[in-house]
Amino acid sequence: MKKRQKNEVIIFDTTLRDGEQCPGASMGLSEKMEVARQLARLKVDVIEAGFPIASPGDFEAVRAVAEHIRGPRIAGLARCLKGDIERCAEAVAPAGERGRIHVFLATSEIHRRYKLKKAKREIIRQAVEGVKYARRFCDDVQFSPEDASRTEPDFLAEVVRAVIDAGAGTVNIPDTVGYAIPSEFGDLIAYLFENVPGLEDVVVHVHCHNDLGLAVANSLAAVQNGARGIECTINGLGERAGNCSLEEVVMAIRTRKDFLRVRTGVDTRWLYPASRLVSRLTGMTVQRNKAIVGANAFAHEAGIHQDGILKERSTYEIMRPEDVGIPGTELVLGKHSGRHAFRNHLNRMGFKLSPAEMEKAYEAFIALADKKKTVYDDDIIAIVQEQMAEVPQVYVLSYLHVSSGTGTVPTATVRLRKGRKEFQDAACGDGPVDAALKTIDRISGVSGKLMDYSLQAVTQGKDAVGEVNMQVSYGGGQVVSGKGSSTDIVEASAKAYLNCLNRHLFMKDHASKKSKAVRDRRSPGRKSTRRAGGR
């Protein structure tokens, strides 16, 4: 492993693992690959690509990132269980020497008593066995004592000492529930360095959650007391209130290097593009006043501020917009742009599409350019996002007409294509969107209940593309998320609803085939009889 300088802070990005655990922020494989490519472009040190044992999809995502992404180390998460570790080792194997197995086990008294029901001695034994077993598959093993900030300091030191002796090269100290206060958390890191022999010979990370809005502050306090790795996510995505925000902590270190006296290897010019990409792919809007990447981060309205900025930018700006990758203008392409220019621009933005996906994206771009005066990068991202859908398009919207207004009963006429056949119907609703969704229900014969709906403008202007994110329940506790975009918000809503419907039908079909395969394995005789019958 590369020898680190004492003043170099490792940036461990967990957007694809912890970030994706944010409710409503799930991504498909191709979307995860786009984020991973952007993280490599950012030059983060480690990408935690997922939790391989959690699902076949997570396993495939970690394996794909390990196989195709160059540069950062690729980590997978695993509990201190042999099955988890074996699955994780298999997933990160394509990364070779850059692969990392990240094992964890809860250590706090509250977790020991109520979740694990284990004594301290059992916790240490399982942690040591987990690290040793992971070392059989991978030289780079990281251990995290879950809920470390609420663990008794003396017991935490004992656990850390044991896993280092077992072979962990990185020890991560998580503030799992965002409970810590910066001075307290900094003192905890200092305590570990004072009481764990050999801690200075491994890398100490911190993983701070934002439940009290202190994740960045706690991470910086830890760095001031000897930690040299920060686990974070793009836009601060993550469980509950999220994680330490990558863009915020990186720019804090860069801007206040005079005080913190450390640095990162992140190419900050890709921070804004990465933030925007993750926002579009997850459907999680970045608040306007968010530090570093929010729409208002470099906006100045007060007259005194504007006067100062015009005279000298440093009067009211502690960093330059271009340092984080905010462009002066986004106007890039028009309807007369050819395929070659479009392809080159997508490559510059970090997208890699197959020839078929590229052709569909180009056709959608030309159609959008005919409707819009100005096409922005975010418009392009919205187009590409639709082409990255991994779910088979059972139903495709081919025609939509709505009638609505004061004193008029909102009515929608919808035509859907299913294979080579087209189906058309109409329905009334409380509004044009409701009417369109009810018509889709009538055509498909599948009724969904809208649980959550959000609309945001992808770009500025009266002709801005609108992006709709929704969650739809289809009964049985299944809630499906979907996205759709268009300059027409009713069309965007219909596309998002169809995206949910297609996902539901895909998942239902997949579950049916899986169930049939299980039945066939249990009853091989009946399986062969059906085949003999000439079905």
Return the SS3 of 506.
helix
Q: Is the pLDDT of residue 370 over 90?
A: no
| pLDDT confidence of residue 438 | 96
HEC string of 432-493 equals HHHHHHHHHHHHHCCCCEEEEEEEEECCCCCCCCEEEEEEEECCCCCEEEEEEEECCHHHHH
Give residue 235's region: left, alpha or beta (phi > 0; psi -120 to 50).
Answer: left
Cβ neighbors of 99 (< 8 A, separation 6 or more) are 66, 73, 74, 75, 76, 89, 92, 93, 138, 140
Domains of the chain: 10-282 (3.20.20.70), 339-387 (no CATH), 396-520 (3.30.160.270)
- Mind listing the pLDDT tens digit for each residue in 139-184? 999 999 999 999 999 999 999 999 999 999 999 999 999 999 999 9
- Mind listing the pLDDT tens digit for each residue in 306-341? 556 556 767 767 888 889 988 754 445 677 777 887
Q: Which range (14-18, 209-213, 332-336, 356-360) has the least confidence?
A: 332-336
Q: What is the pTM of this model?
A: 0.77
Q: What is the DSSP string of 348-395?
A: HHT----HHHHHHHHHHHHHHHHH-S-B-HHHHHHHHHHHT--S--SS
How many angstroms separate the CA atoms of 54 and 83, rounded? 11
- Mind listing the pLDDT tens digit for each residue in 383-441? 776 666 666 789 999 999 999 988 899 999 999 999 999 999 999 999 999 999 999 99
* pLDDT band of 4, cuts 50, 70, 90: low
How many angstroms separate the CA atoms of 167 and 158, rounded? 15
CA distances from 19 to 11, 109, 230, 482, 523 (A): 15, 26, 14, 18, 42
Measured in whole angstroms, the distance separating CA 408 from the mean position of its chain's CA atoms is 43
Alpha-carbon Rg for the chain, nearest whole angstrom, is: 26
| pLDDT confidence of residue 535 | 32
Task: Taking the CA atoms of 518, 523, 527 and 530 in sequence, report the sign of the dihedral they define.
Answer: negative
Q: What average pLDDT does the segment 437-455 reach? A: 94
Instruction: Using alpha carbons only, give the angle 454, 455, 461 rounded to the nearest 5 degrees.
Output: 165
How many angstroms separate the CA atoms of 278 and 343, rounded? 21
| pLDDT confidence of residue 346 | 81
How many angstroms separate the CA atoms of 470 and 483, rounded? 7
Residues paired with residue 102 on neighbouring β-strands, in sequence order: 77, 142
How many angstroms separate the CA atoms of 257 and 430, rounded? 57
